[in-house]
Amino acid sequence: MKIAPRSKLVFIGDSITDCERARPVGEGLFGAVGKGYVALVDGHFGAAHPGHAIRVVNMGTSGNTVVDLKARWQTDALDLKPDWLVVMIGVNDVWRQFDLPRQTELHVAPETYGRTLDELVTRTRPLVSQLVLMSPFYIEPNRSDAMRRRMDEYGGLMRQIATRHGVPFVDIQAAFDGVLAHMHANAIAWDRVHPNHIGHAVIARAFLAAVDAL
């Protein structure tokens, strides 16, 4: 496994990461890491790699865009002093353009998304053992769908940033596409954004595969 024993992993993102995690810091007993993919990752580490004693922290916040992440980056990412920082952001950056098209102040343009994410990676990469970028996604198999096309654009921007900085990129959209070849989107996410237990397992497995932990 790529993650060293006794490493501290912080996962940061939006509602897909949040999943009812504890406040102010999502770590500890009684479901503190939430009910989503972060909990599945934590459970897998404990069951499959107990000797590594890996520490998992969930700092997802529902509704966040990359601009929101920037505003809380110091307190919710850097101040926690992670060995590994895992970032999945972009769904709301795209979604607000479609579900709230008239509230343009909530929209995050591709240029802003790419520039802000690049700034965060540039600032953070020297301070952690590893930084991982996990793509935004839309659980829709029709790649001509307007929101799916837009989401793929933002995922492409994230991939470019990961390549530029030499950090791992986990293509969560591709992971869902593999499942969508066999299963309807409604069986994975009621709104094609917030996954059920199957969808969260898809995300968890994609991350675990990327760090050679399966």
The verdict on residue 1 lying in a domain is: no
What Rg do the C-alpha atoms of the chain give, in angstroms? 16
Catalytic residue among 15, 49, 68, 177: 15
Q: Indicate if 68 belongs to the active site.
A: no
Per residue in 9-35, pLDDT tens? 999 999 999 999 999 999 999 999 999
Helix ranges (DSSP H) in the chain: 15-18, 37-48, 66-76, 91-99, 110-124, 146-165, 172-180, 197-210
pLDDT at 140: 97
Average pLDDT over residues 100-105: 96
Q: Which domain holds residue 123?
A: 8-210
pLDDT at 160: 98
Say how far apart CA 97 and CA 88 lie, in whole Å.
18
Q: Which of 61, 77, 73, 84 is closest to 13 using CA atoms?
A: 61
pLDDT at 81: 98
- List all residues 6 or more positions away from 92 whose beta carbon is below 8 Å from its beta carbon: 14, 15, 63, 64, 65, 108
Q: Indicate if 200 belongs to the active site.
A: no
pLDDT at 5: 98
Q: Helix, strand, or coil here: 169? A: strand
- List all residues 6 or more positions away from 94 whose beta carbon is below 8 Å from its beta carbon: 108, 136, 138, 147, 150, 151, 154
Average pLDDT over residues 43-58: 98
The verdict on residue 2 lying in a domain is: no
Average pLDDT over residues 58-66: 98
211 pLDDT tier (thresholds 50, 70, 90): very high
52 pLDDT tier (thresholds 50, 70, 90): very high
- List all residues 6 or more positions away from 204 whose beta carbon is below 8 Å from its beta carbon: 37, 40, 41, 44
68 pLDDT tier (thresholds 50, 70, 90): very high
Residue 125 carries which DSSP code?
A: G
Catalytic residue among 7, 42, 152, 194: 194
CATH number at residue 193: 3.40.50.1110
The verdict on residue 23 lying in a domain is: yes
pLDDT at 188: 98
The verdict on residue 3 lying in a domain is: no
Extract the tokens encoding 10.
């912080």
The per-residue b/e assignment along 77-87, b for 16 or more CB within 10 angstroms, e otherwise, is: bbeeebbbbbb
Amino acid at 100: L
Catalytic residue among 79, 99, 191, 197: 191
Per residue in 145-167, pLDDT tens? 999 999 999 999 999 999 999 99
The verdict on residue 43 lying in a domain is: yes
Residue with tokens 């492409």: 156
The verdict on residue 73 lying in a domain is: yes
Sign of the Cα pseudo-torsion (191, 107, 60, 132, in order): positive
Q: Helix, strand, or coil here: 209? A: helix
Number of domains making up the chain: 1
pTM over 0.95: yes
Sign of the Cα pseudo-torsion (28, 128, 159, 5, in order): negative
The verdict on residue 206 lying in a domain is: yes
Q: Indicate if 197 belongs to the active site.
A: no
The verdict on residue 141 lying in a domain is: yes
